[in-house]
Structure 1
Amino acid sequence: MSAVGLIVEYNPLHNGHVHHYTRAKEITGAEHSVAVLSGPFLQRGEPGIVSKFARAEMALAMGADLVIELPVSYAVQPAEWFAYGGVALLHATGVVDSLCFGTESGSLDLLLPVSRLLADESPELQERISIHLREGMNYPAAYSRAAAAAAGIGGSEEELLQMLQKPNHTLGLHYLIALHRLKSAIRPFTIPRIHAGYHDEMPSHSAIASATAVRRMLLTQDLDAAAPYLPESTLRILSREFREGRGPVTWESFRGPLMHLLLTSSAQELETLHEVTEGLENRLKRALYALKQPTTEALLAALKTKRYTHTKLQRMLTHILLRHNKAEMSPAILAAGPGYIRVLGFSRAGQGLLKTMKKTAALPVLVKPTSFDHPQLELDLRASAAYANVYPAPDVRQMFRDYFEAPIRRFD
C-alpha cells in the first residue's frame, strides 16, 4: 500500500488543485492519498472562505482518500512551522511514503542540497537574518537572503535568492528541511505551477486561476463568474454553504469580535499574545485612534510598513482574535510537533488506511476528538467555534460541530 501526502488549504479547491492531485498520484505511483488540511484559519492569517468541513468534503469529492486536520498551532504560522506541522503529521501516520508539492520551477535540483545545509540552523544563519532585519527587511526577505548567502553552493547563491523570492519555493524548501529534521523516509516530489501565479488576482487562462483570483471572483462577482475555474463538486458545495449562510467568510466577518478585543485589551495584555512583537502592541493602539472606518482592512493598512508584511499582520490579528499566547506557541512547544492526528473525513479506501494507521501511527488517531485531551486540540475546538460564531445566523451545532458529528464519509 502506497500513499502520497498533500499539505493543502483548498480555499477553495479549484482546477489547479485537481491538476496537482492528479499529477501527484501519477509521478509518485501512489495508490492512495492523504491530505493535511488547514482548519478554519489559514497560513496567511485569513479565515477559510468556507469551513474546514466543507473544504474536506471538496477534497474527498476530488478523490482524496483521507483528510486530516493541521492544528491551528501550525496552520497560522510562517512557512517554517506550517511546513513542519504538516510534514510531521504525514510522517506520524506511518502510511505515507511520498510528499508532493507545487513549486514555480517544478524542480528540486537546487532546493534539496540547500535544505540539507539549512536543516540545522547555524548561528551564522541566525546572525545573518538578524542583520537583515536590523536593515529594515521583513522576515521572509531576510530569511531568503540569509539562506542564499549561508547555503551558496557552486556559485548558485543568486539563483537561490531569486528562487526564494517566490512563495512556493520557500514553502517547498521548508517541507524539505522538515523531512531532514524528522529523519523521515518520506520521498519528496514537486510539480510546477501552471497558468497562474500564487498571488495572481486575475485569471489569464480559461480553466485555471489562483485561489486568490477565485476568491476575488466569488466575493466581487458571484459563483457563476468563478465556475469555469472550479470542479463541479466544489461549485455545488460552495453553493450549498453560501445558500445556508455558512459563507463566504472573510476577515470583515470578524470585525466585531476583533475590534472588541482590541478596544478592551491593554497594550500590556496584547504584548503577551503570539506574533505581537517589537512594540506592535503600541502601534496597534495608536492605529485604532487614527482609523476613519473601524474595518479590518483599514486597520491592516494603518499597521502596514516595509518591515511588517500584510501576511505577518494578518497572522498577528488571527492570534489576537483567538487569544493565542506566546507560551503556547513557543518554538520549543512547536518543535515537539503535533500531538494527535485528527481525522476530518475519509473515502472507502481511506477507511482501510485508517485501519492500518491504528497499527502504524506514532500519534493517537482521533475520530471523536472530544474523547481526547490535548492543549493543541483545545485551541482547534475554540478556533472552529469562533469561526462559526460569525455566520449570519449562528448555530450552536455549527459552533460545536467537532463535538456533535463524526468525520465525513464518502463511499460512492
Structure 2
Amino acid sequence: MPLRNVEVKSRRWFTLGQARTDGNGRFSIGQGYRREAKVFVEFKTERATTRGITFGTLARPWELVLPIRHQLGSYTGSQMQGLRYHFSYQADATTKGALSWTAATLFNTVDDMYAYCAASGIPTPPANLNIMLFSRLTSSAATPMLRYLTETSLVSQMISQTLTPAGQVLKAVVQRQLPDITCRYEGNGEALLTDELDETFFHELGHSVHYRQAGNLYWTGYITLIVEAAAKRLLDNSRTSIYGRKTDNGAGLIAVSEAWGNYVGNTFAARKYDAINLNIARFNRDRLEFQTPNDDPDDDDRWIVYGMFHDMTDNTTEPPATGVTDNVNSYTTIQLYRAMQPDVMGVRKYQQRVLSQNNNRQASEMEQLVTSYRW
C-alpha cells in the first residue's frame, strides 16, 4: 500500500530538498546533489505531527519533542532516480522500525479518515493534531486533546496575559508538545498489525471530530471522568471497567462519547477493508451488529451503546441473540453526529436530540431501540 501525504526530505549539509508524496506514494524532489545526500521521511504535516517513544521509559526524552523521522538511506543524484522504499512490519515494538511502521500506518489512516469524513458529510479531525505513539508507556489509546485544550481555554489565555514575552514563548513551546491523541502500538508482546492500528486510529480520530463540536468544557468533563475511573480502579485493585461503572455519575456521557468512537472506528475500518480483506471488514461490522446489551454495570462492552449507533443507520435484520429491538433504519452518520452537542450528556438526552433535530422521525421505533439497550 503506498504511503500517502507525508514529507520526504533530502539533505547534504545546508542543501535541502523537500516533497510531499501523492495518493500513489510518489514524490519528486527537484534539488540535485553531486555527492551522497540523506533522504528521509518526516511524519509531520498540517494534519498531524507524530512523535514516539520506543521504550517503556523516558530514556530518550528528545523523542517527545522531535517528529518521527525514518531515514531511507544515503544516495547520489543518479541513485535518487526511481528511488523506492518499503516499510516492513517488525514484531518487536521496541525497535525504530516498528515505530516507523506504525507512523506510516497512521498517516495512511489519517488520509483515509479525511476521505471518509467527506463522504459521510461530517467534519474532518482538527488540523495539526499532536499524536504520540508509545510501545509501552501507556496502556491503550486515548484522545485527551491536551494541546487544543490548553491553547484554546480561557484560563490558558488569561495566564498568557500575565507572562513576560519570554514566558509566553516558553509556555507556547511546552503546550505544543502536549498530546491530543496517544496510542500504545504494542499488544500481547508484539507490535499491532495494520488492521488493528487502523481501527484504533479511526476510533481516536473519531473522538477528535466529536471534540470539534463538543468543545473544551465537555471534553474536560469527559476526560476527567475517565481519569477518575482509572484512578479508582488502581486504588481499589479491582476489575472495574476503565470507564467506571454504569451506575457512576457521568456514565451516560461516557456511553455516548465512546459509542461514537466505536461506531466511527469499526464503520470506517470496515469500509476500508471492503476492498482489501472481506473477513476483516465483516469482523468490524459484526462487532457493531452483534453487540449484546445487559445490565452488568461493570461490563462496558454491554452498556456503551456503540451498537445502537450502527442500528440507527443500518437496514438489516437484527440478530435475535442480541435481544435488541431494531426497527430504526432512516438515519445517517451526519445526523448521528449533529446530535453530539455539548449539552448531550446521556443516552436518553441523545435520543431526544436526534428526534428533535429530525422531526421526531421513527420516534416509537427509537424508543424501542434505546430501551432494548438497557437505558
Structure number with the bigger relative contact order (C-alpha 8 A, sep ≥ 6) is: 1
Output the TM-score relative to the length of structure 2.
0.27
Which structure: larger Rg? 2
Output the TM-score relative to the length of structure 1.
0.26
Which has a greater percent of helix? 1
